[in-house]
Structure 1
Amino acid sequence: MTYHPKSDFMRVMIERGFLADCTDYQGLDEALIQGVVPAYIGFDATAKSLHVGSLIQIMMLRWLQKTGHKPITLMGGGTTKVGDPSFRADERPLLTNAQIDANIEGIKQVFAKYVSYDDTPTGALMLNNAEWLDGLNYLDFLRDIGRHFSVNRMLSFESVKSRLDREQSLSFLEFNYMILQAYDFLELNRRYGCLLQMGGSDQWGNIVNGIDLTRRVLDHEIYGLTSPLLTTSDGKKMGKTADGAVWLNAEMRSPYEFWQFWRNTTDADVGRFLKLYTEIDVAECDRLGALAGSEINEAKIVLANAVTTLCHGAEAAAAAEATAREVFEKGGVGDDLPTLTLSEGDVADGISIVQLLVQSGLAGSGKEAKRLIADNGAKMNDAPLTSASLVLQAADLAEPIKLSAGKKRHALVTLG
C-alpha cells in the first residue's frame, strides 16, 4: 500500500492491517477530512450472536467512531429472509420473522460494547433494512431498480460464478440478494447521508453494485472499503475451532473460553492480531509480536486480556487470566473449574482417558465418554482428544490437566 493518507481513519486502517481494497482512496480520504462521514457495515441475523469472524468489521466501526465519524450497524432483517449466496456451496436455511427478530436482539448486545449509540454527530445508528425492504412493491422495484442491473455482469461475479461452475443450484431468491444489498446502500445514502460501505473482501462485488446504483439513481458519489478475509497462519478460517464458532455473546461462549481462544493464538499471528483486535499502540504490537520463546506467551496473555476486556469487560478478562495462571502455571486449582484429585495409587498402573472423563463428571458412562471422543467433543488442555484408548501415567499428571466436554463443561484432574 503506497497511498499516504491524510485522515486519521484511513491511516489507522492502513497501519493496523484492516485495508484490503478501496474504490477511491483519495476521494474517500478527502471526504473523511472534510467532515463527519457516516459509514455502514451490514450484518445478517442468521444466529443469536456474531462470532470472532465478524470482529474485524466491528473493530473497523469502532475505529471509525474513535476517529470522529458515524458508524451505522445495519441489521439484515429484510435480507436475512433471502440469504447471502456469497461463496457458499448451498442455500441458507430460511428463518421465520420471529427467529430473525430474536437474533437481532442478541446481536445488538455485542455492538453496544464497541460503539456508542447516542444523539451526538458521531453517535452510532442501529438500523434494520426491513425498514425499506419489507414494504417494497415488486413491479415498482423491478422498473426503478432492476433495470440498472445487467444479468451478464451479475453472472460474472465470483460469488455467483463459483456456484454455477460447480453446477450447484442457485435459486432466483438468492440471485436477488446482490440487488437488495446494492439497494441498501442507495437507501442509506438517501435517508441518512451514508457515504461509505465497509465489509470483508468477499463483499467487493456487492459494494461496487451499490455504488453504481446510487450514482445512476441519485447521482451521488459514495465509496467502498474492504478488509482482508482473515485466516490464521496455519490456514484456518478465523473464529472457527474444532468445537464450533467462537461466539461474542457470553451465554454462547463463556468469557473464560473466549479468553483461552486468544491465549492459544499461534506465535506467528500474535503481532497481526494485536493490531487488528486491540487498541494497543502499533509499535508496541510489533514489539510484542516479535518476542520469541516463552516470552511470546506473555504477549498472548496481553492479547487475550485486551480482546476480552473489549468484549466482556476488564473484570471478566482479569478473572480468566487468574484462573488460567492458577491452573496452568502455579499448578493450583482455578476458581472456575471443578477438580478431580487422584492419589498415586489411582494411577500406579496408568489410568485411561475414558475413566477420567467419567470420574470427573464430564461423561455419564464409559460408552458416553467414547462417543464424546469419537464426535470430537472432548479435549485435554484445549487440544482435541482423538483416541479413546489413551492411557495417562503419573508423570502425565505432574501438572494438572484440564479436560473439556463440548464448549462449556470443564474439569481439572490433579494428583493429590
Structure 2
Amino acid sequence: MKRVLPALVLICATALTAIACSDPTAADNNTGSAPDTKVNPTAKLDGVKLTMWTAQNTVNAPKQVIDAFEKATGAKVDAQAIPDLYEQNVPTKLAAGDKPDLMFWQPSISTLPFIQPQQNLLTLDSEPWVSKLGDTEKSLGVINGKRYAAIVTSPAMLGVYYNKDVFKAAGITEAQFPKSYDELLALGHTITDKTDAAAFYESGGDKWPMQWQMQLQLTDLDKQWWADLNQNKQKWTDPVVVKAITTYKEKLLDAGLAQKNYKTGTFTGSADALWKGEAGMVLNVTSFQSQLQAKYSTEQIDKKLGWFPVSNSDATGMYSPDQTNGVVAFKTGDTKRQNAARQFLAFWLDTDYAAYIKAMKIPSVQPSVPTPAGLPGTSLAQLKSLPTANGVFQAKAIVAPDTHLYLAEMIYGKKTPEQVAQAIQNQFAQVAKAQGAPGF
C-alpha cells in the first residue's frame, strides 16, 4: 500500500512518450489485442516463454501456478522482480520500451491508469473466469466498462485486529464491539482505563498505516461525492475530510489512545505489540494478517487474536485493492505469446485455482471454489465481511494521494489538519491534471 505518486506525476508529465499520459477515458486502441477465442488452459505450449513482472515482496506469489502451468503445457514463465518502489519503477520501464507479457498490478481506478491500459493491455471481458468472480472482485480491474485485470486474490480487508486477553481484562465482550468510529474510540478509552495496554498501535515511523484511521471515517461519503471529486467538482478540503483528520489527531493521538512511541512505531512493531498485549487493537489491512501467519500457527492466532469490521457509522468492513490482487496481460504484438498469456490466466483461475489458494493459504475469489480449510478465524472473519465492505479511497478516487505522508507531517508538528487536507487536494489535482482527467 506504499505509494510514490509525486514521482509518477513527474513521469506522466515529462517522461512518458511510448505510453503517453493521456486521458484515461480515451477510446481503446485494440491493435494487437488477442482475439476473443476460447482458451484451452492445458493446451501444449512447447517453446513458448512468457515474462511476468512482480514486486520484490511478491516474486514467489505466483510460484505454485507457474510450476503447475509449465508442467501442464511445456511453456516457460520467467518471474522477474522489479526493484522497489514497484509503482514508480514499472511506468519508468514501460516508458523506456520494456514490456512483459504478464504483470502484477493494483486493479483499482486510481492505479490502473498509470500503465495506460487502453494502449498497453489486452482486454479480458470475454474470458470464462470473469463470471466466476465474487461481486466485489468483479468490480476491480475495470476502467470505463472494460476489464484489464484478472483478479487472482481477494482485496485486502481493513478492520480491527484485537488481543483477546486485553479485551477480557477490560471486560469487553463481542456484544460491545463498536458499530461506529465514535464507539471504536470509546472502546479505546475502556482499554486504557482498565488495563496497562495502549488502545491502538499507530505506525508513525513507517507512515503508510496511518491513513487507515482517516479512511475509516470517510465511509459515509456517497457515490456522488466521489464522482464529483473525480470531476473536480468536490475537493479533499471538504469539511468532512478535515474533520476526519482532526478527529484522528485530537481524539485518538492527542487523547492518549495510541502507544507512547506512535511517532516512530513500525508495521512489524504493531504485530509484536498486539501479540504481547502491549496494545489492545491495530487497525490495518490483510498484510498484517500475512505477517501474523508467517510467524504463528492458526491455533496460536485463534487463541490470541480476533478481528472485527467497523466503518464510520456501522459495523461494515472496508476493502483495499493492492498489487497482489490483479494480473494484467500486455499487448506485445506477438499473437502466440498474447494467447499464451490468456491461457496462463485461464489456467490460474480455472484448472489450478483450488490448488493455488490451498498452497497460498488464502481465501477464494470464486464463490464456487471453497476457501481452504485451516485458515485463522481472523482471516475467515475478513472473508465474511468482504461482500458488504466499503471500498477505501484507492478504489473510489481516480488518484490515490499520499495521505500518510501528510499525516506524518501533522504528527511531527509540521502541518495542521487543514494543511494536510490542502496538501492532499494539491497532489490529487496535480496527478489528475497530468493524466488528462476531465475537469482538471
TM over 0.5: no
Q: TM-score, structure 2 length as denominator?
A: 0.22
Name the structure where helix makes up a greater proportion of residues.
1
Higher relative contact order (CA 8 A, sep 6+): 2
Larger radius of gyration: 1
Q: TM-score, structure 1 length as denominator?
A: 0.23
